[in-house]
Structures are given as structure tokens and as C-alpha cells.
Amino acid sequence: QKEVEQNSGPLSVPEGAIASLNCTYSDRGSQSFFWYRQYSGKSPELIMSIYSNGDKEDGRFTAQLNKASQYVSLLIRDSQPSDSATYLCAVRGAGRRALTFGSGTRLQVQP
């Protein structure tokens, strides 16, 4: 079992729709959770962080965390073609400083 799992996609949504990206993790003691966006050939860009159960909203992005289910998700409202990228889920495990990343979900927003 991978430490951080994501569906590789591609997830295809029409422009203006809500894109829902999901991630599960295995370390129950994990403390911090992050979503990065990565365009092809570029480095990861931090878009959201979440540390406690519930929802956290930032503009069109909402991160959701459920530690009991070991599940974190990212919702993108009013999806735009410029949102087309790979979205990486990253988790900081208990007592660790480094992040463990999933393999990413490729999102395609169709104009």
C-alpha cells in the first residue's frame, strides 16, 4: 500500500464545473496536508494547506480533511482551462519534516 494514494486520472470536467480531487493516506498520525499544482515540465506550486478536520476555502479552491477516514480532497469551483494540470497531494507524517507525495491526478478542463 502506498503511503499517499491518488487516482492518476485524467479527470475531465467542462469549463465552469466543479472538479473534485481525492487523496488517501496511510499514516494515521499525519499532521499537515498540502495540495500542489504542477504544470507539465514545471515544478510544484503550493495552492492549499490544511491542518485540522473540516473545510478550508481560498478563492475557488476548497480543501477538505477527514482524519478519521484518512482522506483529504480538493474542490475547484468554476474550473477554467488554465486549471488543467497535475494536482499533487502531499502529507507530512508524524514526527517528520519531509513531505510524502502521491503520484498526482491529472485534471483536464474542457473549454
Binding site for another protein (CB under 8 A): 4, 8, 32, 34, 36, 42-46, 49, 51, 88, 90, 92, 96-104
Closest contact distance (angstroms) between CB of 78 and another protein is 25
Nearer to another protein, 70 or 103 (CB): 103
Closest contact distance (angstroms) between CB of 14 and another protein is 26
Contact 48, 61 (CB under 8 A): yes
Nearer to another protein, 79 or 87 (CB): 87
CA 99 remoteness from chain centre: 13
Nearer to another protein, 4 or 74 (CB): 4
Strand 105-110 relative to strand 11-14: parallel, antiparallel, unpaired? parallel
Nearer to another protein, 22 or 32 (CB): 32
Closest contact distance (angstroms) between CB of 6 and another protein is 8
Q: Is 79 exposed, middle or buried (0-12, 13-18, 19+ CB in 10 A)?
A: buried
- Cα separation, 72 vs 6, in Å, equals 10
Closest contact distance (angstroms) between CB of 23 and another protein is 11
Q: Comparing C-alpha atoms, which of 42, 32, 6, 9 is closest to residue 109?
A: 9
